[in-house]
Protein backbone atom coordinates (compact mmCIF):
# COMPACT_ATOMS: atom_id res chain seq x y z
CA UNK A 1 0.00 0.00 0.00
CA UNK A 2 3.03 2.29 -0.41
CA UNK A 3 1.37 4.16 -3.27
CA UNK A 4 -1.95 4.55 -1.51
CA UNK A 5 -3.57 7.88 -1.27
CA UNK A 6 -4.71 9.33 2.02
CA UNK A 7 -8.37 8.41 1.43
CA UNK A 8 -7.48 4.73 1.02
CA UNK A 9 -5.36 4.73 4.17
CA UNK A 10 -8.11 6.46 6.17
CA UNK A 11 -10.69 3.99 4.85
CA UNK A 12 -8.53 1.06 5.98
CA UNK A 13 -8.02 2.72 9.37
CA UNK A 14 -11.78 3.02 9.69
CA UNK A 15 -12.22 -0.65 8.77
CA UNK A 16 -9.62 -1.67 11.34
CA UNK A 17 -11.37 0.34 14.05
CA UNK A 18 -14.65 -1.35 13.20
CA UNK A 19 -12.91 -4.72 13.32
CA UNK A 20 -11.46 -3.90 16.74
CA UNK A 21 -14.89 -2.89 18.01
CA UNK A 22 -16.31 -6.23 16.84
CA UNK A 23 -13.56 -8.47 18.26
CA UNK A 24 -14.27 -10.23 21.54
CA UNK A 25 -12.39 -8.87 24.54
CA UNK A 26 -10.37 -12.07 24.89
CA UNK A 27 -9.09 -12.10 21.26
CA UNK A 28 -5.71 -10.81 22.39
CA UNK A 29 -3.60 -11.98 19.46
CA UNK A 30 -6.05 -10.64 16.89
CA UNK A 31 -6.37 -7.33 18.74
CA UNK A 32 -2.59 -6.97 18.87
CA UNK A 33 -2.25 -7.62 15.12
CA UNK A 34 -5.01 -5.12 14.27
CA UNK A 35 -3.53 -2.49 16.60
CA UNK A 36 -0.08 -2.93 15.07
CA UNK A 37 -1.51 -2.48 11.58
CA UNK A 38 -3.34 0.63 12.80
CA UNK A 39 -0.07 2.10 14.08
CA UNK A 40 1.61 1.43 10.73
CA UNK A 41 -1.26 3.03 8.82
CA UNK A 42 -1.38 6.01 11.16
CA UNK A 43 2.29 6.73 10.46
CA UNK A 44 1.62 6.36 6.74
CA UNK A 45 -1.41 8.67 6.94
CA UNK A 46 0.62 11.36 8.68
CA UNK A 47 3.31 11.10 6.00
CA UNK A 48 0.74 11.36 3.23
CA UNK A 49 -0.99 14.28 4.93
CA UNK A 50 2.26 16.18 5.31
CA UNK A 51 3.84 15.22 1.97
CA UNK A 52 2.89 18.45 0.21
CA UNK A 53 3.94 20.71 3.04
CA UNK A 54 7.31 22.43 3.24
CA UNK A 55 9.75 21.94 6.10
CA UNK A 56 9.11 25.55 7.09
CA UNK A 57 5.35 24.92 7.32
CA UNK A 58 5.92 21.84 9.47
CA UNK A 59 8.33 23.72 11.75
CA UNK A 60 5.86 26.58 12.14
CA UNK A 61 2.99 24.25 13.01
CA UNK A 62 5.20 22.41 15.50
CA UNK A 63 6.22 25.72 17.13
CA UNK A 64 2.56 26.83 17.27
CA UNK A 65 1.56 23.57 18.94
CA UNK A 66 4.39 23.87 21.46
CA UNK A 67 3.19 27.39 22.34
CA UNK A 68 -0.33 26.02 22.75
CA UNK A 69 1.00 23.25 25.03
CA UNK A 70 2.91 25.84 27.07
CA UNK A 71 -0.28 27.88 27.35
CA UNK A 72 -2.06 24.83 28.80
CA UNK A 73 0.76 24.36 31.33
CA UNK A 74 0.53 28.04 32.26
CA UNK A 75 -3.08 27.42 33.30
CA UNK A 76 -2.05 24.65 35.72
CA UNK A 77 -2.11 25.17 39.44
CA UNK A 78 1.50 25.37 40.58
CA UNK A 79 2.40 22.72 43.11
CA UNK A 80 4.91 25.13 44.66
CA UNK A 81 2.10 27.46 45.66
CA UNK A 82 -0.17 24.80 47.08
CA UNK A 83 -0.49 24.93 50.85
CA UNK A 84 -1.88 22.48 53.30
CA UNK A 85 -5.59 22.13 52.88
CA UNK A 86 -8.37 20.73 54.85
CA UNK A 87 -9.28 21.39 58.40
CA UNK A 88 -6.29 22.03 60.62
CA UNK A 89 -5.44 25.64 59.97
CA UNK A 90 -4.60 25.23 56.35
CA UNK A 91 -6.09 27.56 53.88
CA UNK A 92 -4.69 26.16 50.67
CA UNK A 93 -5.96 23.57 48.29
CA UNK A 94 -4.99 19.96 48.85
CA UNK A 95 -2.45 18.57 46.41
CA UNK A 96 -4.79 15.82 45.22
CA UNK A 97 -7.35 18.43 44.19
CA UNK A 98 -4.69 20.46 42.41
CA UNK A 99 -3.71 17.37 40.41
CA UNK A 100 -7.38 16.81 39.57
CA UNK A 101 -7.80 20.42 38.43
CA UNK A 102 -4.66 20.17 36.28
CA UNK A 103 -5.86 16.89 34.74
CA UNK A 104 -9.21 18.50 33.96
CA UNK A 105 -7.45 21.43 32.28
CA UNK A 106 -5.38 18.98 30.20
CA UNK A 107 -8.50 17.12 29.10
CA UNK A 108 -10.39 20.32 28.27
CA UNK A 109 -7.57 21.47 26.00
CA UNK A 110 -7.00 17.92 24.66
CA UNK A 111 -3.35 17.97 25.70
CA UNK A 112 -2.85 14.34 24.62
CA UNK A 113 -3.82 15.29 21.06
CA UNK A 114 -1.52 18.32 21.08
CA UNK A 115 1.39 16.17 22.28
CA UNK A 116 0.61 13.50 19.67
CA UNK A 117 0.57 16.12 16.89
CA UNK A 118 3.90 17.52 18.10
CA UNK A 119 5.44 14.02 18.06
CA UNK A 120 4.09 13.34 14.57
CA UNK A 121 5.54 16.59 13.25
CA UNK A 122 8.87 15.92 14.93
CA UNK A 123 9.02 12.46 13.34
CA UNK A 124 8.21 13.87 9.91
CA UNK A 125 10.75 16.68 10.30
CA UNK A 126 13.36 14.20 11.49
CA UNK A 127 12.68 11.98 8.47
CA UNK A 128 13.03 14.88 6.07
CA UNK A 129 16.10 16.44 7.67
CA UNK A 130 18.19 13.27 7.71
What is the predicted pLDDT for the residue at 2?
42
Reported as a pLDDT band with limits 50, 70 and 90, residue 82 is: low
Sorted by where each begins, the domain ranges of the chain are 1-52, 54-130
Bigger pLDDT: 96 vs 15? 15
Indicate the range of 16-20, 65-69, 83-87, 115-119 predicted with least confidence: 83-87
Average pLDDT on 42-63 reads: 90
Q: What is the DSSP string of the chain?
A: -TT--HHHHHHHHHHHHHHHHHS-TT-HHHHHHHHHHHHHHHHHHHHHHHTTS-HHHHHHHHHHHHHHHHHHHHHSPPGGG----SSSS--S--HHHHHHHHHHHHHHTTHHHHHHHHHHHHHHHHHHH-
Reported as a pLDDT band with limits 50, 70 and 90, residue 87 is: very low
> Is pLDDT above 90 for 60?
yes
Average pLDDT on 6-34 reads: 93
> Is pLDDT above 90 for 91?
no
What is the predicted pLDDT for the residue at 78?
81
What is the predicted pLDDT for the residue at 1?
40
Amino acid sequence: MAESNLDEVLAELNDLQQRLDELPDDAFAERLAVQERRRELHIQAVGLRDAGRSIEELKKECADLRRMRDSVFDRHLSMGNIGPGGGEGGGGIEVRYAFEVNRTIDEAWDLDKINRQIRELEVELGRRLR
